[in-house]
């Protein structure tokens, strides 16, 4: 044997990373199921089931290909590598660049050699070069350079459709009676059943745990959901938990799918003429724009970025994040219930409900970040740190986003049908039936008016405080709402 190839649980692709040039005749494959990963936090069991079962299925595929696979359970990754290294003395260990600072340092200290992480389309050095030249890190600027560099949806040097961004076309509320195509259900095999038994968990049939199942999910999205994805990508409805979202992020984040193949499938479908440009551009922007940008910023900003708390938010995590029965707000009750059932909701509930509430209540960013990391099936470290600290709760003082994503009940009412069956009125700021989002939005602006008055994109909202003749009463109601949320009564 020539070397040990260590495969983290988010590098599950035969054609990328350290496996790209692996040879079954001379290479040993090392995979470690660490207790730190499985029991180190209060992880959602659906998330654990998906990650572990996917890894074991992948190990089985490598065995069937003829590889010698050492799949061990250990307290930590390096403890597992100790066991494998003892068995194969003096063999060097290689791995594709890990996806988190913590694992990168642990493996570097263990003398693991790294190859480039090509599970993304943008090498880390290339992103650093771009970011180092920026005065502000606008994702839109990065996205346009990506379109040109990768020659995606381009007509020479001009964007297909005549504009770079179709955001304005992609903000429709849900139809009054939404009946979208059904999503796939994935059958469970012996490996799935073994993992479920070990975890004491009954998994849903929503998530595939094999490369084949992930490919089927991609095909189903392209054929049944892609055309409607764009206009409804921001819509929220209690009639359908996924609307037309792809459900591909877990597979992209653990390696079962590569972004290149997903983009190619999207482009091929667009070329048939049946996919409108607003859906094609909106979906591809999430992949070559936002996903690549967030990963690049994670590495560019460094490990201390996650500790940012520029708004000095110190409230403990509200009980409703763990218990949907600890709130009377219909939007939050349904969203947290969906998370408990499937470990997933799409990006607008994450941003404009969960993160928005954490932001306007002054919830501690690190507590909220840890909760988000634990409950979502696709919540890898590199995804959640910039998304929560920078975008979700504006804890970085505006390094990523030029304004906080704070909103009152009017936005939720416009983009969802949650408010119709809720006891709270999104139009009211004060009184017992006032929507907590509306009350706390204005209270948040008032609390931070000196900070945001200097922000050109926030000055109009802050100026709006001057028109509130009921601001004293609103401040009293805000205190009542915050106490009620802390006690699970609002």
Which alpha helices (H) appear in 230-378, and where do they start and end? 249-254, 259-271, 277-284, 292-301, 330-342, 347-348, 356-361, 365-375
% of the chain at pLDDT higher than 90: 92
Neighbours of 117 (CB within 10 A): 21
Q: What would the pLDDT profile of 332-355 be if each residue is shown by its tens digit?
A: 999 999 999 999 999 999 999 999
DSSP conformational letter for 160: T
Cα three-residue angle 227-231-236, rounded to 5 degrees: 110
- pLDDT-based confidence at 1, cuts 50/70/90? low
Q: What would the pLDDT profile of 43-76 be if each residue is shown by its tens digit?
A: 999 999 999 999 999 999 999 999 999 999 999 9
Q: What would the pLDDT profile of 304-320 be if each residue is shown by its tens digit?
A: 999 999 999 999 999 99
Domains by residue range for the chain, with CATH: 3-115 (3.40.50.620), 124-301 (1.25.40.80), 307-486 (1.10.579.10)
Within 8 A by CB and 6+ apart from 473, the residues are 430
Contacts 24+ apart (CB under 8 A), 335-342: 338/241, 339/44, 339/375, 339/376, 340/44, 341/204, 342/46, 342/204, 342/206, 342/207, 342/241, 342/377
- pLDDT-based confidence at 182, cuts 50/70/90? confident
Q: What is the pLDDT, as a whole number, of residue 209? A: 98
Q: Are strands 158-159 and 154-155 parallel, antiparallel or unpaired?
A: antiparallel
pLDDT averaged over the chain?
A: 96
Which residues are paired to 68 by β-bridges?
Answer: 28
Could you give the CA distance from residue 153 to residue 162 in angstroms, rounded to a whole number? 10
Q: What would the pLDDT profile of 406-445 be if each residue is shown by its tens digit?
A: 999 999 999 999 999 999 999 999 999 999 999 999 999 9
The answer on pLDDT for 303 being more than 90 is: yes
């Amino acid at each position: 044997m020539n070397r040990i190839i260590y495969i983290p649980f988010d590098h599950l692709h035969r054609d990328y990373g350290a496996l790209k040039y692996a040879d079954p005749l001379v290479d040993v494959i090392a995979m470690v199921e660490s207790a730190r990963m499985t029991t180190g936090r209060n992880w959602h069991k659906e998330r654990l089931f998906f990650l572990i079962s996917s890894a074991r299925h992948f190990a089985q595929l490598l065995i069937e290909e003829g590889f010698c696979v050492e799949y061990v359970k250990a307290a930590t990754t390096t403890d597992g590598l100790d066991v494998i290294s003892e068995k194969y003395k003096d063999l060097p260990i290689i791995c594709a660049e890990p996806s988190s600072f913590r694992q990168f340092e642990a493996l570097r200290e263990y003398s693991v050699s790294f190859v480039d992480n090509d599970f993304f389309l943008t090498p880390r050095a290339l992103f650093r070069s771009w970011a180092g030249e920026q005065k502000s890190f606008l994702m839109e600027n990065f996205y346009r350079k990506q379109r040109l560099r990768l020659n995606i949806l381009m007509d020479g040097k001009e964007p297909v459709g005549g504009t770079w961004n179709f955001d304005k076309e992609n903000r429709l509320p849900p139809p009054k009676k939404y009946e979208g195509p059904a999503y796939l259900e994935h059958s469970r095999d012996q490996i799935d059943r073994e993992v479920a038994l070990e975890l004491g968990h009954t998994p849903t049939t929503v998530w595939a745990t094999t490369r084949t199942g992930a490919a089927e999910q991609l095909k189903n999205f392209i054929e049944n959901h892609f055309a409607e994805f764009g206009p409804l990508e921001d819509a929220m409805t209690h009639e359908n938990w996924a609307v037309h979202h792809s459900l591909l992020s877990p597979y992209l984040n653990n390696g079962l799918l590569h972004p290149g193949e997903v983009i190619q499938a999207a482009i091929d479908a667009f070329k048939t003429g049946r996919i409108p440009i607003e859906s094609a551009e909106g979906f591809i922007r999430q992949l070559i724009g936002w996903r690549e940008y967030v990963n690049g910023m994670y590495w560019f900003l460094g490990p201390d970025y996650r500790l940012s708390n520029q708004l000095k938010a110190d409230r403990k995590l509200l009980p409703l994040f763990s218990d949907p029965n600890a709130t009377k707000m219909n939007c939050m009750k349904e969203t947290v219930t969906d998370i408990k059932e499937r470990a997933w909701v799409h990006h607008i509930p994450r941003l404009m409900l969960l993160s928005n509430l954490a932001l306007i209540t002054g919830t501690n960013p690190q507590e909220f970040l840890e909760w988000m990391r634990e409950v979502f099936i696709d919540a890898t470290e590199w995804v959640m740190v910039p998304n929560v600290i920078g975008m979700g709760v504006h804890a970085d003082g505006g390094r990523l986003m030029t304004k906080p994503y704070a909103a009152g009940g009017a936005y939720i009412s416009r983009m969802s049908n949650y408010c119709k069956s809720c006891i709270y009125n999104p139009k009211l700021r004060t009184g017992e039936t006032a929507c907590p989002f509306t009350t706390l939005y204005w209270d948040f602006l008032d609390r931070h008016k000196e900070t945001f008055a200097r922000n050109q994109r926030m000055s109009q909202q802050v100026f709006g405080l001057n028109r509130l003749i009921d601001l004293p009463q609103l401040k009293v109601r805000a205190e009542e709402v915050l106490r009620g949320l802390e006690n699970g009564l609002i």
